[in-house]
Structure 1
Amino acid sequence: MMFRFFFLLLLLPALASAAPLRVISLSPHTTELAFEAGLGDNLIAVSAHSDYPPEALKLEQVANYRGINIERVVTLKPDLVLAWKGGNPDKELAKLEKLGIKVFYSNPHSLYDAADNIEKLGAWSDNPALAKARADAVRQELESIEASQQGKSKVPYFYQLSETPILTNNGEHWPQPLFSLCGGENIFADSAAPYPQVGMEQIVVRKPEAIFYPADSARPLESWQKWQAFIPAVKNNAIFAVTGDWLNRPTPRALKAVKQICAALDKVRNDPVHD
């Protein structure tokens, strides 16, 4: 009995150090990646608009477009903070690191990068093998999509990120990689601004053969109709809705958006009236 008692005393420090990891996510996409990596049960707080999976809606919010609630984050004593490099304020992230809080930076430029993020985050989970398997599944699906697009012609397209003002993205910023997978050629790829505001006259001159917009937009189809004589995409009814959350977040769900885009561009390629 005495031996068992001392054995349990020796175990106590180990049991104490095995307390669950406390994780905070500061963007919607890092919240999704955390769940994919097996860290969902470890999340104690998230950012505004962290709405997937639904379990994330139950968590306290400590960040939004205005910035990070530093005081609250510190009070929650996280072991790990997941940040969006370029999305969360650099000064506030530096302050967290200065306070001794470990920050994991995520800024995927492709879905391969997102898969790498999942695998790396899995190192903090109880089941790294599961995270690796999920990351590998994303990589395999990407390779399959790439193989299916071999030999297909490029299609010049315009992505209408917002209607008033008209915003789009250039060739180096999200969601460009998703369109590129399907052979889409961004008509504003050469823009110096990451997310330029453009005029209808600029779109007319560049003659997109397909137009995409987030499915939750108000009335994009109506606004395009008066340009039917000038824009091939409008003339040929090649205007497509893509689910916004799938398209705009660099997570595995973006693969669903890729399928929507590829199907739309194939329709354009195969349309007999296509210019």
Structure 2
Amino acid sequence: MILGYSRMRYVEFTLSIDTPTLIQCHLNAFEYFGGFTQEILYDNMKQVVIKRALKSSDSEWNPQFEEFFKCFGFIPRLCRPYRPQTKGKIENTVGFVKRDFFLGRRFTSLEDLNAQVHRWLERVNSTVHGTTYQIPLERFKEEKLSPLDQVPPYKVVHKETRKVSRDCYISFLGNKYSVPYRFAGRTAELQILEGIFEVYVDYEKVCEHEILPGNCRVSRKKEHFQGLLSEILKENSKCKKDSQIPLKFSDPEVEKRSIDVYEIFSEGGFE
């Protein structure tokens, strides 16, 4: 992200490009700058817009991203298709990062890479910019940013879908977590927050769990199975009662013949 007037930059590397990750990067950038601008220019990517209209404001936005920008109150603007010059500042910044920071750099992890790029940002934001011939950090003092304290805390939610097993568990990141037994066999939505996730069935929150470290572990909550035994016993009792219903047999039907038939037999008829 780059601020149009001051040319202050923010860079972050991630392992995902989904909408929640994009939103989290926005939050990190806003924190870095100490605020946010009234308008932000975007490429026509699906994480932001689903269907682009001729006028940006008439476009069909990604629902999760729309919730985000409406919460903060900034206006998203979309670049004109096939006109890369409309986002020249960010295109130049990407090239600059590749040449000046990334080329030949070594790192041991994603955390290490982001720590290095933050140190790099301290240097380049304090160095004369090639276009403005001024130091971004000095021009930044003139930026009119909306303060973060005007916006309520925003939680980035990652969503995934899971099927509740017959034994009332769902799987997540190699571990198993219990769900109230009445939802066995149902499809659940996981809303993943920092360190925990919430489970929803038909938009109803049914439980939440702390995310377990490692794998092959089980998080079981006793209350999820309360009442299950009594229901099983009740069902078994009903089945047993049904099996004890006495069987009723109807009398067999016997063919009725005229007495004349028997008289014929006794007289040696039907030769």
* Shorter-chain TM-score above 0.5: no
Which structure shows the bigger proportion of residues in helix conformation?
1
Taking structure 2 as the reference length, what is the TM-score of the superposition? Answer: 0.30
Bigger CA radius of gyration: 2
Taking structure 1 as the reference length, what is the TM-score of the superposition? Answer: 0.29
